[in-house]
């Protein structure tokens, strides 16, 4: 592994009025933002943060992608990857277990890193299936407190992507619900109760988002806009312990709005403040974060039921854009800010 020393992190005051985001929405008051020292915004993509302030993501140099974890004490630590392979990290739990994938064309394998970054062997779904030399490829996208994880596997023989779950020891299984066996779709998150969220559900009309409730209940999530002659897919990206689910729902054309499903059976709440975008995370208090697509640029946002949708502050530079990718239960939001032509990985505290 490569270790980079971490320096102390400075805190930047909330954005002054002259540097309000290019949208007209209110900036969330009292928010501070700090740059993550040791990460390089131009090459590092952050994806998740846990309640111990550990951050994971991947560094891309040339054509090589390398998964990493970061803490303020250790700086960047690259996670074990087979020689010559690529790796990506997408999620972690509070015990520090990280999940993602490792790949070397044409193969992509689910990956789990434990015990400080050691790579654990994981099973493939339908390992005997292949077509014209192509094998099953899998990605692990979410992990809960117990170490159970969820993702998806593409089976070239059936040209279909199936939901997959893995035990803490790496054993894999498909999801066989009475209405869909095996379940086809992309699983993106799993909560502490084992409820999986994802989308779109590939075996159902109108490409809805979905949740899978143990042991085998597959529910599609209500759409924001009644489907007509044309429609786009809905996706759930995050789910908290009580089942509040965040993602995006198709509205029209190429536009999907960030939404929150506060019930699996009720129409979602559009939290986009009249902008397209997606909600990427939800914490235990039902605070939702995500990114809005503006004209031009992108803007990180925070949403609560009481305050509505508010912009997260920038760094005070010129031509700023930002995105929020994850939230923990310590009132911290992970994301990026591009300011005066330079991209930074950041943590907002609210």
Q: For residue 136, report the phi and psi dihedrals to the nearest 5 degrees.
A: -60, 135
Q: Which domain holds residue 342?
A: 15-74+312-350
Q: For the ranges 87-96, 295-304, 319-328, which has the lowest average pLDDT?
A: 295-304
136 pLDDT above the threshold of 80:
yes
pLDDT (mean) for 297-317: 96
Tens of pLDDT along 55-88?
A: 999 999 988 999 999 999 999 999 999 999 999 9
Instruction: State the burial class of residue 24 (Cβ atoms within 10 Å of its Cβ: 0-12, 13-18, 19+).
Output: exposed
pLDDT confidence tier of residue 41, bands split at 50, 70 and 90: confident
Task: Give this prediction's pTM.
Answer: 0.91
Q: Is residue 59 part of a domain?
A: yes
Q: Is residue 318 part of a domain?
A: yes
Q: Is residue 21 part of a domain?
A: yes
pLDDT confidence tier of residue 50, bands split at 50, 70 and 90: very high
| Nearest alpha carbon to residue 31 among 46, 17, 51, 11 | 11
Q: Is residue 344 part of a domain?
A: yes
Q: Is residue 60 part of a domain?
A: yes
Q: Is residue 234 part of a domain?
A: no
| Nearest alpha carbon to residue 192 among 329, 16, 19, 100 | 329
Q: What average pLDDT does the structure give for the chain?
A: 90
Number of domains in the chain: 1
Q: Is residue 329 part of a domain?
A: yes
Q: How far apart are CA 258 and CA 224, in angstroms?
A: 10
23 pLDDT above the threshold of 60:
no
Q: Is residue 334 part of a domain?
A: yes
4 pLDDT above the threshold of 80:
no
């Amino acid at each position: 592994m490569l270790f980079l020393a971490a320096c102390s992190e400075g805190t930047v005051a909330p954005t002054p009025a002259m540097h309000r985001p290019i949208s007209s929405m209110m900036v969330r008051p009292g928010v501070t933002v700090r740059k993550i020292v040791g990460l390089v915004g131009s090459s590092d993509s952050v994806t998740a943060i846990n309640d111990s302030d550990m951050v994971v993501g991947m560094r891309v140099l040339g054509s090589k992608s390398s998964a990493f974890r970061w803490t303020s004490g250790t700086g960047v630590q690259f996670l074990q990857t087979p020689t010559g392979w690529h790796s990506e990290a997408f999620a972690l739990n509070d015990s520090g277990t990280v999940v993602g994938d490792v790949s070397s064309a044409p193969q992509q394998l689910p990956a789990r890193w434990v015990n400080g970054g050691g790579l654990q062997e994981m099973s493939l779904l339908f390992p005997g299936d292949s077509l014209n030399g192509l094998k099953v490829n899998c990605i692990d996208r979410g992990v809960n407190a117990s170490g159970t994880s969820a993702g998806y596997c593409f089976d070239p023989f059936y040209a279909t992507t199936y939901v997959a779950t893995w035990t803490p020891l790496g054993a894999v299984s498909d999801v066989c619900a009475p209405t869909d066996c095996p379940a086809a779709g992309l699983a993106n998150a799993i909560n502490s109760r084992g409820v999986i969220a994802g989308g779109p559900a590939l075996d159902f009309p109108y490409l809805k988002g979905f949740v899978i409730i143990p042991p085998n209940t597959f529910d599609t999530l209500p759409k924001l806009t009644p489907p007509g002659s044309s429609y786009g897919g809905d996706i759930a990206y995050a789910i908290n312990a009580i089942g509040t689910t965040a993602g995006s729902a198709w509205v029209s054309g190429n536009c999907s709005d960030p939404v929150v499903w506060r019930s699996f059976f009720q129409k979602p709440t559009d939290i986009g403040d009249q902008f397209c975008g997606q909600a990427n995370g939800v914490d235990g208090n039902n605070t939702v974060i995500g990114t809005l697509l503006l004209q031009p640029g992108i803007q990180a946002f925070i949403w609560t039921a009481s305050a509505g949708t508010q912009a997260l502050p920038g760094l005070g530079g010129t031509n700023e854009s930002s995105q929020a990718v994850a939230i923990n239960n310590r009132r911290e939001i992970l994301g990026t800010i591009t300011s005066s032509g330079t991209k930074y990985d950041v943590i907002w505290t609210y």
